[in-house]
Amino acid sequence: MQVTETLNEGLKHEFKVSVPATDLDAKADAKLVDLKDKVRLNGFRPGKVPVSHLKKVYGRSVMAETIDQTIRDTNTQIFTDRGFRLATEPKITMPTEQKEVEELLSGKTDLTYTVAIEVVPQIQLADFKTFSVEKPVVEVSEADVDDAIKRIADGSRPYNAKAEGAKAETGDRVTINFKGTINGEAFEGGTGEGIQVAIGTGQFIPGFEEQLIGIGSGETRTLKVNFPTNYLNDKLAGKPAEFETTATNIEAPGEVNIDDDFAKTLGLESLDKLKEAARERLTAEFAGATRQRVKRALLDRLDESHKFEAPPSLVAEEFNLMWNSIKAEMDSSGKTFADENTTEEAAKDEYQKIADRRVRLGLVLSEIGEKNKITVTDDEVGRAVIERARQMPGREKEIWDYYRNNAQALAQLRAPIYEDKVVDFILELANVTEKKVTKDELFKDEDGEKTAA
């Protein structure tokens, strides 16, 4: 066997490989000898079929298997000997002319092929003990608890029927019947009767609730919406739909007294217990926001500390995934790049940088996890599926079946768990200092805009 490297440019390599016909023929004959005791041919006793006869019957197929196995074994040896970790599947170029293929399968010519690969670069990990990370901490105040309870009360307030002829306003609850269609065709789950919609709560598809403003009891409207591109049902995601909607009842929100009796309607013993529960929820919410801040800071530090060339094909794949999603979302919403105060070229350049960062960070996190034997168990993934199902009451079985039957979706669920475990590992080594901040400071994004709390 002869291996010649014909390309060595950055992370891209190409090799020309030649395997003598005699080597292939010897391997094929060994397979035929092994086959002798397994096949049954008319006119021959079991195990007594001459190899020469087997070669006439099975020679071409056995040689094809031999060539395939030889290529795989040879490639593995090439990559292992050179310490290569592949970024993508190798690209193999074989003879294609009919005469060459016939001679190869007949064992009359050497096997010659080229294999092109793109490799993962060697990554020199930083000393994580030198990392300093600031952890923003917010204490839950009485005002925060009171605001949270008020939001609960607003969502639990009673509704009273509006006067005949009254029109629906933001905050009102409208009971509707609807039939949804896509391109004039009804779709599964697109029909509902007696469904209550509180206008302004954002519980329905974006744009649905707003189109109910001004509707009267008994009135029918056709609501035009677009399913979000990340909608759970792939068959509906990103598609425009129309809902023929009839309002059967319109109610205005009433007042709620926040007291022990209100707490009991929520299954709690008293207002004090409700405040305690609200404080616990806020504590968890603030802790989650703190976690995201710390994680973002840590990833920024990893990015700064690990500068290397990312495999171009992986960056291109990541960019295409993001760009296709952005384009689909813009198409469904009717927005343009001008609406976002940018151009398509500038947006592409920005997302190219994001794709490069994501790939490099992914490789760094993978390297850290591999070197420190960090893994994700099936139990951890199972708990994540259960948690996802709990977030969608009434659809638990649908969610469970979706992940059970979709290996890619399950892998997408496993990835953030793995990432979080690697982040926790680094934080154990890093110097983490706490800093007290306000709630508004905690929930501000990097551009200084306040995010949803």
The residues of the chain scoring below 70 in pLDDT are 36-49, 51, 53, 333, 445-453
**N-term to C-term CA, the chain:** 65
DSSP type of residue 306: -
Q: C-alpha 245: how far from its chain's center?
A: 34
CA distance 375 to 386: 20
CA distance 164 to 216: 9
Of 287, 305, 401, 437, residue with least CA distance to 361: 305
Q: Which two tokens stand for residue 64?
A: 């094809």
Amino acid at the residue 355: A
3-state secondary structure of 201: coil
Q: 2-118 with 158-254: one CATH topology?
A: no
Half-sphere exposure of 362 (CA within 13 A, CB side): 15
Task: Give me the residue spans of the domains in the chain.
Answer: 2-118, 128-138+270-442, 158-254
Residue pair 400/385 in contact by the 8 Å Cβ criterion: yes
Give the pairing type, strands 240-253 and 159-161. antiparallel
Q: Which two tokens stand for residue 236?
A: 């509906």
Please give the radius of gyration of the chain, using alpha carbons only, rounded to the nearest integer. 32
Residue 59's pLDDT is: 80
Give the pairing type, strands 111-118 and 159-161. unpaired
Residue 48's pLDDT is: 62
Helix (H) or strand (E) holding 6: strand 2-9
Residue pair 186/166 in contact by the 8 Å Cβ criterion: no
| Phi, psi (degrees; rounded to nearest 5) at 228 | -60, 150
Residue pair 58/35 in contact by the 8 Å Cβ criterion: yes
Residue 288's pLDDT is: 94
Residue 448's pLDDT is: 44
Of 3, 23, 26, residue with least CA distance to 15: 3
CA distance 6 to 112: 14
Residue 449's pLDDT is: 41
In the numeric block, the tokens 């079985």 are attached to 397
DSSP type of residue 11: T
Helix (H) or strand (E) holding 246: strand 240-253
- Show Cβ contacts of residue 58 under 8 Å, excluding neighbours closer than 6 positions: 32, 35, 39
Residue 236's pLDDT is: 86
Give the pairing type, strands 132-137 and 185-198. unpaired
Q: C-alpha 402: how far from its chain's center?
A: 14
Q: Which two tokens stand for residue 275?
A: 């405040």
Residue 285's pLDDT is: 94
Residue pair 160/256 in contact by the 8 Å Cβ criterion: no
Q: Which two tokens stand for residue 118?
A: 């793109």
- Show Cβ contacts of residue 138 under 8 Å, excluding neighbours closer than 6 positions: 286, 289, 290, 436, 437, 438, 439, 442
The DSSP annotation for 182-199 comes to ETTEEEEEEEEEEEEEET
Of 245, 247, 238, 204, residue with least CA distance to 221: 245
The DSSP annotation for 112-133 comes to EEEEEEEBPPP-----GGG-EE
CA distance 254 to 271: 20
Q: Decide yes or no: CATH 3.20.20.70 for domain 158-254.
A: no
Q: Decide yes or no: CATH 3.30.930.10 for domain 128-138+270-442.
A: no
- Show Cβ contacts of residue 324 under 8 Å, excluding neighbours closer than 6 positions: none
Q: Is residue 253 classed exposed, middle or buried when 0-12, 13-18 and 19+ CB atoms within 10 A define those classes?
A: middle
Residue 330's pLDDT is: 81
Q: Decide yes or no: CATH 3.90.1150.10 for domain 2-118.
A: no
CA distance 236 to 180: 11
Alpha-carbon torsion, ordered 277, 278, 279, 282, to 10 deg: 130
Amino acid at the residue 91: K
CA distance 94 to 110: 12
CA distance 410 to 422: 19
Check the CA dihedral 64-65-68-71 and report its sign: negative
